[in-house]
Structure 1
């Protein structure tokens, strides 16, 4: 749950950045016209929706193409985190692992606690392991390993595909599986199917963001989501505090 707000961590990953060589990969940046063409495919009722004109801006003194790539990546990433959070919330509310969580025999928090309370009940070391692992994945995703070579990956702000998580193939030490599609099921998938599933992912991610925020709002602000009144347990803690409300380094 709290991992949805933890998107950056400091770590050293220079060893995972291979040297660039060979033929450069093709870079094609998305434009506002591409977003206008995509919008009705995602939702023909709403269509293109940008009342603030953010797709015409150039954030941090960069280019419009850079900004669009960054915004697209942000939406896809937040959608994925929200989908994981929504499913996790539903599962945690009804099931928990029956075996010991720690070496000293401490059990996993039970379903008598709500998901945020379960997180609060985790030992500090358990929380730290989860956050560091997610932080590593986040940091590695920004490296665009192999950029500049045919088999490498171009960063999403420089014409790369937003939402594409880099493989671990460029790491000197062999890694048996990749984060995305570890068993290679999408290898023989048609382009039409891939495009359809990418659109479904964006729509599901948007819905999941509303869903998980709805759960948390209903827990922390009584009556804020009438449909969830009596469904979710009230929570008096601090949702946005990953360790505790008074935690300091």
Structure 2
């Protein structure tokens, strides 16, 4: 049985993956390729970590201009408009295509053996020491999961109260 959900069967596909907490209540690991699932988790975790920082910083620093003066970060997204948001999504899509060499489906994204989340960016040479690499990979997974929960809480708190992060 699963350690995290003792009333469910242990998901077998998660064995051997960094950060395995045996948590898969919807059995996604049996329906989708695990490399794709891990890539998705890393991607969403990294975005969530940046989003939490951006959410807090947007309370303290504002760019000049009326469109950038919203006190609630959720309202700020609507004030900026569709065109800047589309530019951000288009740029992210371009980066995604470049990083995966044009392979964008879950079936061929990792067909060449690319490790999920590894884009060859290692300025601190962490990957040279396997013990350090395993520690950093586990830290990234755990911090990404925490950040996904944190940004969800921050957004819902802003929607409910109509204010951003309270600093006083």
TM-score by length of 2: 0.71
- The Cα offsets for residues 127-148 of structure 1, whole Å up to 9 and x where unpaired, read as 3332221121122233268xxx
Change (3 A) 1:157 1:70: farther
Which of structures 1 and 2 has the bigger CA Rg?
Answer: 1
Farther off after superposition, 114-123 or 210-219? 114-123
Q: Which runs of 5+ in 1 are unaligned?
A: 1-31, 60-66, 101-105, 146-153, 168-179, 223-228, 234-249
Cα displacement (A) at 1:231: 6.3
Cα displacement (A) at 1:120: 2.1
* Structure 1 runs of 4+ with >4 Å offset: none
Q: What SS does structure 1 have at the residue aligned with 2:68?
A: coil
Cα displacement (A) at 1:85: 0.8
Residues 1:136 and 2:113 aligned together: no
Counterparts of residues 137-216 of structure 1 (less than 5 Å): 137-143=95-101, 155-156=109-110, 159-165=113-119, 180-181=121-122, 184-186=123-125, 189-216=128-155
What do you get for the CA RMSD once the two structures are aligned?
A: 3.2
Cα displacement (A) at 1:75: 0.8
Could you say which residue in structure 2 is the equivalent of 1:78?
A: 44
Residues 1:93 and 2:59 aligned together: yes
Counterparts of residues 1-249 of structure 1 (less than 5 Å): 35-38=14-17, 42=19, 47-55=21-29, 57-59=30-32, 67-97=33-63, 106=65, 109-110=68-69, 112-143=70-101, 155-156=109-110, 159-165=113-119, 180-181=121-122, 184-186=123-125, 189-221=128-160, 232=165
Cα displacement (A) at 1:219: 2.1
Judging by fraction of residues, say which structure has more helix.
2
Cα displacement (A) at 1:203: 0.4
1 CA distance for matches of 2:164 and 2:50? Answer: 20
Whether the aligned pair in 1 keeps the contact of 2:127 and 2:133 (CA below 8 Å) is no
Cα displacement (A) at 1:70: 1.2
TM-score by length of 1: 0.50
How many residues are matched? 152
- The Cα offsets for residues 39-78 of structure 1, whole Å up to 9 and x where unpaired, read as 6xx37xxx422344332x244xxxxxxx111111111111
1 CA distance for matches of 2:38 and 2:58? Answer: 30
Change (3 A) 1:188 1:161: closer
Change (3 A) 1:52 1:34: closer
Q: Which runs of 5+ in 2 are unaligned?
A: 1-10
